[in-house]
Amino acid sequence: MAQHPVTFAIIGAGLIGPRHASAILNTPSAKLACFVDSNPAAQEVAAGFNVPLYPTIADMLASTDKPQAAIVCTPNHTHVPISKGLLDAGISVLCEKPIATDIASAMELLEHAKKSTAKLAVGHHRRFNRYVRATKAALPSLGRAVAVSGLWTICKPSEYLEGVGEWRKDGTNGGPILINLVHDVDILQFLLGPIVRVTAEETIKQRNFDAEEGVAVLIRFASGCVGTFVVSDAVPSPHNFESGTGENPTIPARGMDFYRIFGTDASLSVPDMKRWSYDGKVKDWTQDLEEDTLSVGTSKVPFELQVEQFVQVVRGLEEPTCSGIDAVRALVVVDAIKKAMREGVAIDVPCE
């Protein structure tokens, strides 16, 4: 017998909420029940999806549209209280990243979730991206990972930081380390294992906001692999995950690389998936390197794959692809990066 679709509410109708809503509409095992947002502009968004809008979660819970699951798409500092309230109501939660803005409240949410029959997962959706999955599959062919170089460099428009986005100027809740680099930290740990030490230098500021505009990071992994990562949200550049993969339809796709992974047997650039090696030859710089382009294949939009997987989580059939613990591990690293940037010293990161 076919199961009924799992019903979803979208909490927050800003930039990311509608993208999650579209993913739900494209997933047969899921059904969009409503939006929750007190901003008057949300009325138009909900109407566009032909679902009700509730100004508060309490209003939604008192209605006939109470869902089985919710995706929390609100400002970072609200993630924990909103997620806790939903879990208390028996609603499973897929919380947008970062799970919280500080480690203590993130751990509080994990403890809260343990007491609930509802499920908790975190929206590090890039784990579902076809380029990330192809990279993970290719890692054994590189030998032992020696080093990695990464970039997330782009120019955010001024309107992104104004109005309902004013919170992104805040040094505690905003800035590209917590908003953007946390994605790449999660992927780097997903690919290469735990990060155990970071050093960081802040980039120059062009805006007069408390939040940083960028940072250069030196990384050490538990495996012994080392890396560098440069982040900036205030420079013209095609070297970032969104432009490289074409994942975000609002950002033009350029296909330029954003990760380079160097192994003992081969190196790989992402997303062009060029693998360079001396396969079958002596490793010698006078030898011509072999170039292979690895297959990536096609897949659904990562947000859709994430919804599909979370439906299975809600039904108790699978564990989350990105658990609360996974998300906390990424948060611990970005917290260490911010501390290293402020204090100008190397910060050791606990693995557990």
DSSP state of 234: B
d(CA 242, CA 254): 9
pLDDT recorded at residue 352: 66
How many secondary structure helices (H) and strands (E) does the chain include?
11, 15
Q: For the chain, first and last CA: distance in Å?
A: 42
Q: How many CA atoms lie within 13 A of 46 on its CB side?
A: 21
Helix or strand holding residue 269 (H, E): strand 266-270
pLDDT recorded at residue 40: 93
Q: What is the band of 116 on the pLDDT scale with cuts at 50, 70, 90?
A: very high
Across the range 12-35, mean pLDDT stands at: 96
Compute φ and ψ for 69, nearest 5 degrees.
-145, 160
- Is residue 178 scored above 70 in pLDDT? yes
Chain center to CA of 244: 15
- Is residue 1 scored above 70 in pLDDT? no
pLDDT recorded at residue 281: 84
Q: Which of 56-60, 162-166, 181-185, 310-314 has the lowest mean pLDDT?
A: 162-166
Across the range 180-199, mean pLDDT stands at: 97
pLDDT recorded at residue 153: 98
Compute φ and ψ for 40, nearest 5 degrees.
-55, -30
* CA angle 323–227–225, rounded 5-degree value: 80
Model pLDDT for residues 232-257, shown as the tens digit of each residue: 999 999 999 999 999 988 999 999 99
Tokens 């011509």 -> residue: 288
Across the range 198-224, mean pLDDT stands at: 96
Q: Tokens at residue 84, please?
A: 């806790």
Residues β-bridged to residue 228:
149, 218
pLDDT recorded at residue 255: 94
Q: Which of 163-177, 180-194, 282-296, 303-317 has the lowest mean pLDDT?
A: 163-177
Domains and CATH numbers, the chain: 6-126+302-323 (3.40.50.720), 136-300+332-348 (3.30.360.10)
pLDDT recorded at residue 279: 85
